[in-house]
A = this chain, B = another copy of it.
Amino acid sequence: MRILLAEDDADLAANVADYLRALGHEVTPVASGRTALRRAVEESSELLILDRMLPGLDGAELCRRLRRDHGRQTPVIMLTALGSTEDKVAGFEAGADDYLVKPFSLVELRLRIEALARRALPPVEEALQVADLSYHPRRLQAQRAGKPLALNPTTRKLLEHLMRASPAVVPRAELEHLLWANEAPQEDVLRMHMSNLRGAVDKPFRRKLLHTVHGVGYRLADEGGT
């Protein structure tokens, strides 16, 4: 499993990372909150282990932004020295799935990861598929009919979101929120990016996958068959 470990205590981070790697996981340790958020979003890790207290952006706020601004449901285990009920409330309300109080046993961490993995990772997501279109969150690369598509960061985010939602319609407002959180630029910028995405995904192909639902938003799906 690809695990992002955000922990600024270097000794603890090394211990945890070594232990998890020995279990066969792929661990990326980072020491700052901002870096953690960026990498969690870009590399779409399968599990986040976050220290509650992090320089730059604390674990709870990181988790909240990940869920709210980026729409990610990546499972989160909060790791912290703060063990009061209030602290736990804050952790869970930020969207954490589990909350482990230091000092904790590595075995218990393993157990909780396994329990979470059973629930949170239905298919070990290697690639998203819609018809002959596929997207690999790890490689940040999309293909259609075997040919790689040229995507920029914005069109990539849109594609990933639309594929995860497929075959449901995604309202324009949701896509705008995905890209710009609250601070959206002019209204019709999204149209631009959708046009670009269409150019990459549909233009060279006969069968169109990206459909407009007038007055609502967009749907990515293979029409006719379902």
What is A's interface to B at a CB cutoff of 8 Å?
A: 75, 85, 88-89, 92-93, 96-99, 105, 107-108, 111-112, 114-116, 118-120, 122, 125, 136, 138-141, 143, 146-148, 152-153, 167-169, 213-216, 219, 221, 223-224, 226
Chain B nearest Cβ from A20, distance in angstroms: 16
A109 to chain B, nearest CB (A): 10
Q: How far is the CA of A98 from the CA of B125 in the complex (A)?
A: 24
Copies per assembly: 2
Instruction: Taking A88-B105, A136-B167, A139-B168 as given, write out 13 further A-B residue pairs in contact, using a Cβ cutoff of 8 Å, ordered by the A residue number.
Output: A88-B108, A88-B111, A89-B107, A92-B111, A92-B114, A97-B118, A97-B119, A138-B167, A139-B167, A139-B219, A140-B219, A141-B167, A147-B224
Known: A116-B119, A118-B97, A223-B148. A216 touches B140 (CB 8 A): yes
Interface of A is mostly: mixed
* Cα–Cα, bound, A152→B98 (Å): 41
B221–A139 CB distance below 8 A? yes
Question: Could you name 16 residue pairs across A and B whose Cβ atoms are closer than 8 Å?
Answer: A85-B105, A85-B107, A88-B108, A92-B112, A96-B115, A99-B111, A116-B119, A119-B120, A138-B167, A139-B167, A139-B219, A139-B221, A141-B167, A141-B169, A148-B223, A153-B216
Q: A88-B111, A96-B115 are in contact. Are A169 and B140 (CB under 8 A)?
A: yes
